[in-house]
Copies of this chain bind each other. A is one copy, B any other.
Amino acid sequence: MISSDVIRGYNDTMILYLLLNEPSYGYEISKRIRELTDEKYIMKETTLYSAFKRMESNGFIEAFSGSETNGKPRTYYKITDAGRSYYKEKCEEWEITREVIEKFIVKENFHEYN
């Protein structure tokens, strides 16, 4: 399981990705992240819902209430144009980030460094 400090800065991106094709809501997004990553990353509830609030006030997503229920009423979120464009930026940034970090990573089988 990955520490979220590492993912931090990409939590929003992950959520936006799952909203690209259709609106969704907290509980579902949470489940989809768990599934997509084979439980390697589980976004905490509070992280998720505070990301919603943040992105809503940033204008990246918009809330609306859904009608279907089986449990407490859901709040759905829809990605906005600003959200798509932010998502795109983050994807481009990712390439650079990855290259940067990998300059400092030694892959496999390094033993004798003394």
**A positions within 8 Å CB-CB of B:** 2-3, 5-10, 13-14, 17-18, 20-21, 36-37, 40-41, 84, 88, 90-91, 93-94, 96-107, 110, 113
Contact = CB atoms under 8 A, between A and B. Distances in A.
A90 B107 CA distance: 11
Contacts of A110: 88
- Number of identical protomers: 2
A104 B8 contact: no
A20 B113 contact: yes
A110 B85 CA distance: 11
Contacts of A36: 103-104
B9 A100 contact: no
A28 to B, nearest CB: 15
